[in-house]
Structure 1
Amino acid sequence: MKWSELCIHTTNEAIEPVSNILHEAGASGVVIEDPQDMVKERDSFFGEVYELNPADYPEDGVYVKAYLPVNSFLGETVDEIKHSINNLVVYDIDLGENNITISEVNEEEWATAWKKYYKPVKISEKITIIPTWEEYEPVSSDELIIELDPGMAFGTGTHPTTVLSIQAIEQYLEKGESVIDVGSGSGVLSIASALLGAETVHAYDLDDVAVKSTSINSKLNNVQHIVHSEQNDLLKGVEMEADVIVSNILAEIIVQFTDDAYRLLKPGGMFITSGIIQGKKDVVKERLQQSGFEIVEVNQMEDWIAIIAKKA
C-alpha cells in the first residue's frame, strides 16, 4: 500500500488544533518535528544516544505530519484538511507559515524507518543490547552483547522495566543456576540469564508469537541450548524448581502467581519482578509477603518499579 505524508509547517500554538483536524480526517497518529527537540536535555542512564538530524526540522515553527492512504478520496480529504486549518484564524490561532506539502511514502520504507533510532545501548555493567543491523565492537573484555531484531512487537529491550530486570539478574544470578522467565516476550531476560551463566532457562509465555520470538532470538545469540521456550499460562502446571524466577509483566498479573513462584523456588531462591508502576508497588509487595517472600530490594527507574524478593 502507498501512503501520503501530509506535512504542515505551522507554529507551536497551532499543534493541538492542527493535530485534532488530522485525527478527525482519519490519521491514526501525528508526528511533531520541533527544532526545540534538538536542544532538549534528556536523561541518559547508560549512555543512550539520541540522534536527531537537523535536516528533518524547520528553522522556525514546527512540522506536523500525518499519513493518509493513497486512494480516490485523498484529494478531497486534503482539501478539507486545508480548509479546516485555514479556518483556525477565526479563533485567533497563529498558523505561521501554514505551508502544506504532500509526498508519497512506500509502506515498506515507513515500516522500517524506526530502525534509525535504535542504537546500541549499555543497560547494565556487563550487558549491551544492539540491533542486528548495527556494527558494534565491545569496549571491554567482560562486556556481554545481546543482539535483538525486535520488529514491531516487543520493543527494543531498553525500556526501564527491562533495564531494571537485567540489572537485578546480573546482581543475584549465580553461575550454574536455573532460571524461569514468566512472560518472556522477546526473550531478552532469558538470553541475559544465559549469558550471565545460567545453566538452564525455561521461558514461558501465553502468546505463541512471543514463544517463537524467544526461540529465534535465543538462536541469534547462540544460547538455544540453554533457553527452552514454551507456551504456558504463567506457572500453571509447572513442577520444576528454579534458583531464580524473573518476570517483567504487569503488576496485576504478578500478584496472580506469587504462590506458584514461592512453591517452585528453591530455598533461598530469588523472585525478580518488574513492570510495576509506582501506584501498584505496595499491592505487589503485600502479595509477595503474603506468599511467604522476604522483600530484599525495591528499585526504581523513571516511573517504573522492580521488586526483588527471596524465599526464606
Structure 2
Amino acid sequence: MPSTVIAPLKIGDLIIDPPILQAPMAGFTNAAFRQIVREFGGAGLLATEMVNARGFVWMYEHEAEHPDRLWGVGDEPRPLAVQIWDNDPETMAKVGKRLVEEYRVSVVDINFGCPVRQVTEKAHSGSYLLREPQRMHAIISKLVVACAPTPVTAKIRLGCHPNNVNCNEIAKVVEEAGAAALTVHGRTAADMFRGNADWDRISEIKAHLKNIPLIGNGDLDSAEKVVAAFERYNVDAVMIARACLGRPWLFAQAAAALRGEPVPPEPTLQEQRDVMLHHYQLVVDRFGEEKATILMRKYACCYAQGKRGARHFRTHVAKVSTAAEFHAVVEEHFPLNPVQ
C-alpha cells in the first residue's frame, strides 16, 4: 500500500486519474492494443504510435488516407494523446493544428526521445534535437500556439550521451516554450534500452521545473515498481512502456496498488492466450488477414515473453502468414506451462 495518497495528474486543464500513462511505441501502440488496455483498465492516458509529421502533411496534401498510426483515433474514448515527430516547427504546427481541429485529440505530445538512427541521424529528429535546445523551443512554442487550448507535452531522454546529460537545461527550455508537461525516459539516447533507467536523474529534474508536472519513464514492469517510483522519486506521474506490450493488464495492477487495494493476479496462461487471440482478431478486422497476421507476429512474441518454451513459440510464429497458420501455431506451441 502506498504511504501517501497519489494525486491525479493535471496536464493543462486535463485531469489524468490514475496518473499512469501508456507510452507511445512505434509499431505497437495501435488502436487494437489500446482497446485491449482499456478493457483491462488502469491507464489514465493512452497514446498512439509516434506519427511522422512530414509524412502526415504529404498524405494530407495528396488526399491520401490518414496514416495507419492514426487508425481509430477519431472514434475511440478520450483522453487520448497523439505523439508526433519532425524537426521543422512549421510542419509540426501544421500537423498539431489538424490533430486538434479534425481529430479532437486530448494531448499533442512531441517526441524528443527516440534514439533510433533512422529518426536521429537520418532525419535529425527525436533525441537528436536534445543537442539543439533553441530548435526544440521553436517547435514547442509554435505547436502550443497552433494547438491551443489543447495541451502540448514533450518526451525526452536524459541527453544524447552519458557524457552529455543535459536534461535539466532541456527541462527549462520545454517549460519556457509553453509545454504543459514533461516526460523523461531515464536513459540517454546512446544507451538505447541497455542498462537500467536512472530514476535519481529523473527525480532531480523536478527542481528545475516551476509549474509543469514531471512524468517518469523507464523499467516499470510491476505494480510494486510503480508504487515505489511515486514513493522514492519526485515525479507527478509515471509512464509504462515495453513491459505492457505482452501484459496489457499491468496498468490495472498498478492502479490497484496505487489505491492501496489488492493487486489483481496475473491472468492464467490460458486467459493470456485468449487475450492474444482477441488482439489478433481486432487487427484482422482492421487490416485483413494477410497484413494482420504479419503485424501480429511481434505482438505474439511479446505475449509469450518470459514463459517456458517462449523461444520455441517465437521460432514458429515468426513464419506464419495466414490466420489458419497463426491459430495452429498458437494451439500447438503457445506456452501454457509456467516458467520453472
TM-score (norm 1): 0.29
Greater fraction helix:
2
Task: Give 1 or 2 for the bigger CA radius of gyration.
Answer: 1
Greater fraction strand:
1
Q: Which has the higher contact order (CA 8 A, sep 6+)?
A: 2
TM-score (norm 2): 0.27
